[in-house]
A and B are shown apart, each in its own frame.
Chain A
Amino acid sequence: MPENQIDLIAHLMRRGGFGATQQELEDYTRIGYEASVEKLLDTATPTVMSEYLIRRYHPDESSLLGGLSGADAWLYRMVTTDTPLLEKMALFWHGIFATGYPKVLNAKPLADQIRMFKRYAMGDLNTILVQMAKDPAMIIWLDNQQNHKDSINENFGRELLELFSMGVGNYTEDDVKECARAFTGWTIGNCEYMEVRSARDSDWPYGRISWHYEFDQSDHDNGEKEFLGRKGNFNGEDIVDIICQEEATARFIARHIYHFFVADEPPVPQWPYQPPRDPEAIDQLVKVYFDSKYDIREVMRFLFNSDFFKSEDCWYEKVKSPAELVTGVMRLTGAVDMPRYDTFSKQLRMQYMGQTLSNPPSVEGWDGGTAWIDTGALVERMNFAAEELGNLTTPGSQQLFDKFVAENSEQISPDRVIDICLEHIGSLTIHRDTRVKLVEYANENGGVRVDGNQLDELGKDTISGTVKLIASTPEFQKA
């Protein structure tokens, strides 16, 4: 267990949130680790940039007409929220129930799906899966509108079992068919018109029209089904209920949670052939899942308080996703107090790093882990972080300068320069060799000089350069 509480809480905030400022970490440290976990888990009343404000300055975040609409609003929410775990859980479920624009061709249902994740993200898995199955974007994404009682389409039923709950090897082909039968008649309203519009990518004559779930009783197969060894006149809710009782489901979801919040696992297709990195941790999560009747909040509470999560062995063991990196950097700058014209350009940077929200590469989502890092993406990641954090005009930079002034010393040593910058950036712990290089850099100008209450330009440049270098370290690029 680490001796330094603030470093442990910094780890918690990197995983349960998007990192934290020094002030936030000090506030959390005052209440202690367990209370910080509870604060993180309290997602009832998030404070976040007003939807009205976003819609006023970005009309497309109101009507969601364009292909990438909704992503700016999500970025604003991630950057400004005081309840970061809720946004992380939305990212988590988005990565599993990966639904994308190229087939849905209507950004409003995609944004609605993310909102749905937030409403149910921390509830029981049963509810999450039912809501996901009724989600209009998911219905179109996996063709369930074409799943008829006299002609089933297995796509949704198959992915529900393979990618969303149990994983391959835990069900039969017959189970897939019976599962599909149970979801017949789960469609969207005005299906014909909405499909025609999507096929033509039509926003005519008056922009997009939102989608809504509709149950078509006349198209539902109400006959007897045999699914995972049970028999009955199952509908979709019954199927989900059975799925949630399965140990395979508990293990699959537990491994996803471990992969997202603790340490990178191999890509999902390898899971049947490669054991979990920490089987004991998975066992513990599975037990909490069943003890709590599939309650995700309870699973998360256990996880954040577990020894395997707190262990320094897993610190900086996860590569930040582009969404986590961009959000974390923007939160540190403190520069997002109003909607800004250039927000879309931050989204573009996220895309250049390999992640476009609401546009995953496939129904399997993003692989994550080291797959986020290739030569081009790494350069993009380092450049973005360095540009944003090295910008001398942001409130975040000003706060950093104030910390130097508050040292009450005319000459701040290179060692101390590094300490102040690392604390400012979220109590980052770096490798000692890296630190030596950073000190060498800060020493080139002899540290930082404070003249009265002022930093000279050379001092500011030294601080800015130091922060840019820190943003390029492996520790900053990881969580």
Chain B
Amino acid sequence: MVTKNERIEQSMHYVRTVGMTTMRGRGFYFPVDTAMASNGRIYVLNRSLERVVADTIRVTMLNEDGEYFGIFGRGGEGEGEFRWPCGIALDSNDRVFITDEHLNRISIFSPDGEFIGKWGSQGDAEGLLKGPAGITIDGDGNLLISDSQNHRIQKFSKDGDFISAFGTEGDGDGELNLPWGITTNSDSEIFVADWGNDRIQKFSHDGKFIAKYGSSGRENGQFVRPAGVTVSQKGYIYVADWGNERIQILSPEGNFIQKLRGEATDSEWANDFLRVNVEEAEARERADMEPEFEFFNDDPHEESSHIEKLFWGPVSLLLDGDERLFITETNRHRIQVYKRN
């Protein structure tokens, strides 16, 4: 049960939008995950496309105000290169760990983006990977990885030494179906976006099933292919309800509190673009950016494709120390920032 006060206290409000679409350099191109360093620097992992040139795959470094610190990484299969980059996490020294769900490996970079090393190879035996997607670092400094196509979570040391694994393919308690986002709370409990099962699952630090939240659907508290999850200090659960193109906030017990559908405005970088592209800016100014018409189906994906301010492909969630929520949207190539009341 969620009280009215709790609902008000935990409600989130839109603050600003960060980033914009660019194939190279300053900007994002199909961002799939975001992490923040201890100094507030934001690392945005850009997956790009298979068929375009290598330098469109990259990590963009910036801060919330839009100050740009450069990029690192590129497409390919060599050191410091990616095919299908998917998840990013920073350790206590701000070293950067990135999963690649095609190359089945983890690449490690310094805080400034210098390549340090890589490990991982394909397979379904313990310690091997098939489609590593979400990644987080637990309280002991070990890596928890959604070994997605093996339908399990694996724990490794930062050097890639296998520690443990849990989960098998299925839809029962503790079973997983193509898990994606992963996070831990202050009690070292593990939350997994159980993507194919339309739910969030909670596990103990050693992988024992504790609880599950949500079911398939578009109602409050239901999910369609949740991709990302994060948990606040007080235990509130934030879910990137990817297939519903929204964010949902749940109480520590898993009860629905609020849903967000997106309120993006023009970012600093977007304004820079529009200032020098006057014809486009003026036409944009005159356009009805929230047109009303009949969609041929009830999939919010369709609505989001037409109405730019709405979340489209909300994939990853980041809570900073001030409990501000950074929502990365793959299809809109930006981050929307929300804060609590």
Q: Which 7 A-B pairs have the closest CB atoms?
A: A205-B270, A63-B331, A193-B287, A210-B305, A193-B283, A205-B20, A190-B287
Q: Does B313 contact A (CB under 8 A)?
A: yes
Residue on A nearest B306 in the bound complex, by CB = A210
Cα distance A292–B195 when bound, in Å? 46
The interface residues of chain A lying within 8 Å CB-to-CB of B227 are 56
Residue on B nearest A108 in the bound complex, by CB = B305
Whether the Cβ atoms of B288 and A189 lie closer than 8 Å is yes
Cα distance A52–B195 when bound, in Å? 10
The interface residues of chain A lying within 8 Å CB-to-CB of B119 are none
The interface residues of chain B lying within 8 Å CB-to-CB of A65 are 21, 30, 331
Stretch at the interface among A141-149, A194-202, A281-289: A194-202
Stretch at the interface among B157-165, B261-269, B319-327: B261-269
Q: Which of B28-50 contact A (CB under 8 A)?
A: 30, 32, 47, 49-50
Whether the Cβ atoms of B312 and A63 lie closer than 8 Å is yes
Q: Does B51 contact A (CB under 8 A)?
A: yes
Cα distance A204–B277 when bound, in Å? 10
Cα distance A342–B77 when bound, in Å? 14
**Which of B22, B51, B269, B293: most chain A CB closer than 10 A?**
B51
Neighbour of A57 across the interface among B20, B84, B296, CB < 8 A: B84
List residues of A whose CB falls within 8 A of some B CB.
52, 55-60, 62-66, 68, 108, 115-116, 119, 189-190, 192-193, 196-197, 200, 202-210, 212-214, 338, 341-344, 348
Residue on B nearest A339 in the bound complex, by CB = B84
Whether the Cβ atoms of A204 and B20 lie closer than 8 Å is yes
The interface residues of chain B lying within 8 Å CB-to-CB of A210 are 302, 305-306
List residues of B whose CB falls within 8 A of some A CB.
20-22, 30, 32, 47, 49-52, 83-84, 101-102, 149, 178, 180, 195, 224-225, 227, 243, 264, 266-267, 269-270, 273-274, 277, 279-280, 283-284, 286-289, 291, 293, 296, 301-302, 305-306, 308, 312-313, 330-334
Whether the Cβ atoms of B264 and A212 lie closer than 8 Å is no
Residue on A nearest B267 in the bound complex, by CB = A205
Q: How far is the CB of A185 from chain B (nearest CB, A)?
A: 15
Cα distance A66–B331 when bound, in Å? 12
Q: How far is the CB of A210 from chain B (nearest CB, A)?
A: 4
Given A196-B279, A207-B332, A62-B301 contact (CB < 8 Å): yes
Whether the Cβ atoms of B32 and A59 lie closer than 8 Å is yes
Neighbour of A59 across the interface among B225, B266, B330, B334, CB < 8 A: B330
The interface residues of chain A lying within 8 Å CB-to-CB of B51 are 66, 68, 344, 348
The interface residues of chain A lying within 8 Å CB-to-CB of B84 are 57, 341
Whether the Cβ atoms of A206 and B334 lie closer than 8 Å is yes
